[in-house]
Structure 1
Amino acid sequence: MFRSVAGGTPGGRSQGRVVGEPRSARPYAHPVPSYRVRVVPGVLHRGVDPAAVLPAAIEAAGERTTVEAGTVEVVRGEPRITVRYEALDDQTASDVGRAVVARVGELVVVETSRVTRRSGARWYPMR
């Protein structure tokens, strides 16, 4: 489930308020770190529709936290599924990442996966 965000600044940056939601109803008192899990999928399991993989990954994360975005890209000839989400701490983020990888693994062979945490404009691997 994606949430529409309002309250952007003139530079186009979002302040993270959900449309129609009063500021006091925001679930966190402080900014919540952003994480992402990237999965490089391999061969599809028999009978799996390729279009079902990204929605399944987003749903797996969405059952546990707020999903910020989900994309499929082709990088250097390899497909890559990315799900970006919020989590209160690194342990929760790791749990969400494992759930996404497990769900994707039911549909395709997972070649590699990695959970990263955003710090400023950069993404750093979880330890």
Structure 2
Amino acid sequence: MPSFRAVLQITGLRPGQPPERVLQAAEEALASRHLVEATRLDVVRGVPEITLRFLVEAATDDDEAAAARESALAMHDAVEDVATTGVLRVLRQRRGRWVPIGI
């Protein structure tokens, strides 16, 4: 099964939302569609970003990429309920490297 990453910048929390809710919302949204293998929170150049690695059912490359994009956008929408966000990136693992697939 192909492996993808959704990487989303977090620029702030919505009022009344605890920080841990951001990653929970992201994981819940992705897990409703795919197997989530790992989650993490990093701070890159002073900006928090969450990364979720997930598997997509095997199909054609285009269909796999479309499913990953659609799921990453659903994750983004779920996170927007609890936080303000910045850039969303989707990457696919190819021969040990993470390659952007675009949104």
Structure 1-normalised TM-score?
A: 0.72
Structure 2: how far apart are the matches of 1:68 and 1:120?
18
Partner SS, residue 73 of structure 1? strand
Structure 1: how far apart are the matches of 2:31 and 2:94?
22
Partner of 1:39: 8
5+ unaligned residues in a row in structure 2: which ranges?
Answer: 58-63
What is the CA distance between 1:51 and its match in structure 2? 1.2
Structure 2-normalised TM-score?
A: 0.88
Structure 2: how far apart are the matches of 1:124 and 1:102?
23
What is the CA distance between 1:74 and its match in structure 2? 1.2
More helix by share: 2
Query: RMSD in angstroms over aligned alpha carbons?
Result: 1.0
Partner of 2:51: 82
- Please state if 1:67 is matched with 2:42: no
Cα deviation digits, residues 35-58 of structure 1 (max 9, x gap):
010000112111111111111111
Structure 2: how far apart are the matches of 1:46 and 1:72?
20
Percentage identity across paired residues of the two chains:
34
Which structure has the larger Rg over C-alpha atoms? 1
Question: Would you identify which runs of 4 or more consecutive aligned residues in structure 1 move more than 4 Å?
Answer: none
Structure 2: how far apart are the matches of 1:118 and 1:96?
16
Q: Which amino acid aligns with 2:44?
A: V
Q: Which amino acid aligns with 1:108?
A: A
Aligned counterpart in structure 2 of residue 98 of structure 1, from 66, 73, 77: 73
